[in-house]
Amino acid sequence: MKKIILTLFFLFAIFSLSNVINSSAERSSSTTVVINSNDELMEKLNKLEKKVYVDNLIQHIEFESEIIIPDYVDVKYVEYAYNLANQLKISTRMIFRLMYRESRFNDTIVSPQGARGFMQLMPDTRAEYAELLNVDTLKLDKDQEDIYIGMNYLKDLHDYWRKKGNTEKYSWKLCLASYNAGKGSVKKYQGIPPYKETMQFVDFISKAHSNPEFFSNYIKKYENSVKVSS
């Protein structure tokens, strides 16, 4: 009789333990589902927040710089260029107008003279500054390197002419002329060289804000989003 009672008690204990384990597993599974759902929601919110930030950034840059950034451009390079310009205290308007003028943001363009990339750097200049700035230690991809080298080269040109006693505004114009035609040509003519390409280059990048043609193109690009939001 004792054996029967003990056997029944043992079976009851096993049954109770099994229920506890199953209940715990169900709660754990339910908790996992909730956690996974929350993670997915946060991921979606983060992506949406990033998209809104990038869209607003591009619109801000286009409006400020009066150029249209093509849809084929990877936004990470737009964001990188914008942040680096602010870090180096270079006008973002100037940088994006320069990139637009030089390459239309096409990193595969090669000029007849051999200049390459977003910033249209000559191979010798790129190699010199890559070594000078220890670019290989910065963990940048090729296009980021071009942007980084181009902006630092531009800043060095500005600082060179500023130290010569030129005004801030004129130093930037001489800097742009040097970027386009070479520092030697600017020295030779003691100012912006009388080359049509160089003069147009400097005029385009240093142009004052407010361009009716740009605003027309800007409105065309965003007219659908404006209609939706209004």
Band of pLDDT at residue 11, cut at 50, 70 and 90: very low
- Read off the pLDDT of residues 107-153 as tens digits, 9 standing for 90 and up: 999 999 999 999 999 999 999 999 999 999 999 999 999 999 999 99
Amino acid letter for position 228: V
Q: Is the pLDDT of residue 16 over 90?
A: no
Band of pLDDT at residue 46, cut at 50, 70 and 90: confident
What's the DSSP call for residue 136?
G
71: how many CB neighbours lie within 10 A of its CB? 8
Residue 100 vs residues 32, 82, 119, 198, 224: alpha-carbon distances, Å = 50, 14, 9, 15, 24
Amino acid letter for position 25: A
Smallest CA-to-CA distance from 80 within 44, 101, 107, 102 is with 107
Q: Is the pLDDT of residue 10 over 50?
A: no
Q: Has 197 been annotated as catalytic?
A: no
pLDDT of residue 199: 97
pLDDT of residue 136: 95
pLDDT of residue 88: 97
Asked if residues 201 and 176 have their Cβ atoms less than 8 Å apart, the reply is yes
pLDDT of residue 131: 97
pLDDT of residue 47: 81
- Read off the pLDDT of residues 87-102 as tens digits, 9 standing for 90 and up: 999 999 999 999 999 9
- Active-site pick, 62, 66, 102, 145: 102
- Read off the pLDDT of residues 175-228 as tens digits, 9 standing for 90 and up: 999 999 999 999 999 999 999 999 999 999 999 887 666 766 776 777 655 443
Amino acid letter for position 108: T
pLDDT of residue 221: 73
pLDDT of residue 26: 55
* Alpha carbon distance 162, 174 (integer Å): 9
pTM for the whole structure:
0.76
Band of pLDDT at residue 70, cut at 50, 70 and 90: very high
Element (H, E) at 5: helix 2-65
In three state form, how does the secondary structure of 162-216 look? HHCCCCHHHHHHHHHHHHHHCHHHHHHHCCCCCCHHHHHHHHHHCCCCCCHHHHH
